[in-house]
Structure 1
């Protein structure tokens, strides 16, 4: 299968690397520093079970996606529309675009920009870029994907590549469940610059997380979202299964980059306002992260 990864950061490099390692024709489209390193020596895929270099194509241009049967769409939620517009002229008519992004509405936003089939995916992986062309896998790695014309074939390819994958008719609910995990952990991890395992041990954190989760659940219920599983158990499990992981928001702030907070706690605040559900804890976290972002932005000017 020919696969393009649009936005080859930690998530894109992990899943793209796993597919390339299994023999698929993969091109990673990302930042120049990573592309240069991957072209020179391959992608370093540093996982919990192996650490090796995988030969894979890499490019900084969206045109590299030409002819791909599968596009793993992994850009930041803030870049969704722009990246989809960049891809649009180069997409094969029968391509499947699989959105592996944080937030709950990215697939819908991509569909507004392209005519190809778009499916949402829920991503459960702890990974980060440890250096140029070096993805460090810290835990988990499963995917839940939406039905589409190619989802069965894609799921088989991912499973054969060592990625646990299931197809679900309730991806909306699973996306909301993942959103709640992100809302509970991301901003706090970012503001404290602590990994999940240490974060939950600090005074007052459990109570703040409880308030955040309760608000998210209330908004989801008002929005008629049916979430699978036990949200409280899932929240506790993250600190156990991803103890050493810093949130993507923490990584963004540490690098002075704009985060996805508008599409996490900020989304809950906006949706809550539209549905008449109060979200004060989410509002505070969203505001604090935005303040840190603005401070970094001001320092860079």
Structure 2
């Protein structure tokens, strides 16, 4: 399959490299400046075991129309609106689209624009973009894909994505999996952004009960929306967010305190809208959004 990876950041660069190394036909949709860098220097990916640089195929939005068989949308939510305006030239009637973002708003947007062509995607990888270098911090690299609205994942999509280095699987309920991850990252965002500290310091300050309340709030929204968090997912959230001495902070908090564009509205704002539509009380979520919108201090 001809695969288009939208964005060559941490997630896109990591998965794109592993797909390319397995012989897949991979092209990156990037901005002109990024295209110049990649053409000159290639894409460097440093994993926990290997440091490698590959020459890659790139296009920009101005290079369409040119339909691909599979499109992986790997940008952050802050860039999603621009991407939605750009990928149309690369979507054909049989193109499968897999967005790999947090939350659920992007799924609704893409489904509205390309009904029946969108699959759910859930990636787990700890990677960052250091300048133009993709650095993976932990060995975990998994990709969970599933059909939406009763549809199945085409065999050719599964075959294309099942490559060495990626723990690939098909989700029976990808929507439920997306909600479960959303509930966790929203709880983590509330905890760190509201109390402005890593988990360990919040616990030391007497905040454990409030952390558990945040988890209850976000998981309550998921349950009311028809996607209750599993016992294993709940236990994992509690374990991560209540570990004494932990230096854990959410990526949302790190972006905000660094003055970077954040996914606050995509992760927390959208969850609050859905909570209110379900007549749920989410006081910690609401307080966090007020603090963020008013200007979170570093």
Same fold (TM over 0.5): yes
Query: Are residue 184 (structure 1) and residue 187 (structure 2) matched?
Result: yes
How far is the alpha carbon of 1:247 from its aligned partner? Answer: 3.6
Deviation digits for residues 163-211 of structure 1, max 9, x if unmatched? 11211231111111100121122355567887x7766765345433311
Query: Are residue 158 (structure 1) and residue 157 (structure 2) matched?
Result: no
Query: Are residue 144 (structure 1) and residue 147 (structure 2) matched?
Result: no
**Partners in 1 of 2:184 and 2:98 — Cα distance?**
21
What is the match of residue 85 of structure 1? 85
What is the match of residue 216 of structure 2? 214
Contact persistence 2:7–2:30 (CA under 8 A):
yes
**Partners in 2 of 1:59 and 1:205 — Cα distance?**
48
**Partners in 2 of 1:189 and 1:42 — Cα distance?**
36
**Partners in 1 of 2:37 and 2:201 — Cα distance?**
33
**Partners in 1 of 2:32 and 2:254 — Cα distance?**
19
Structure 2: unaligned runs, 5 residues or longer: none
How far is the alpha carbon of 1:125 from its aligned partner? Answer: 1.4
What is the match of residue 167 of structure 1? 170
How far is the alpha carbon of 1:62 from its aligned partner? Answer: 6.3
Query: Are residue 249 (structure 1) and residue 252 (structure 2) matched?
Result: yes
What SS class does the counterpart of residue 216 from structure 2 fall into?
helix
CA distance change for structure 1 residues 230 and 14 in 2, over 3 Å: closer, same or farther?
Answer: same
What is the match of residue 299 of structure 1? none
What SS class does the counterpart of residue 218 from structure 1 fall into?
helix
Q: Provide TM-score, normalisation by structure 1.
A: 0.83
Contact persistence 1:20–1:55 (CA under 8 A):
no
CA distance change for structure 1 residues 157 and 90 in 2, over 3 Å: closer, same or farther?
Answer: closer
Count, aligned residues: 291
Query: Are residue 126 (structure 1) and residue 126 (structure 2) matched?
Result: yes
CA distance change for structure 1 residues 44 and 281 in 2, over 3 Å: closer, same or farther?
Answer: same
CA RMSD of aligned residues (A): 3.0
What SS class does the counterpart of residue 118 from structure 1 fall into?
coil
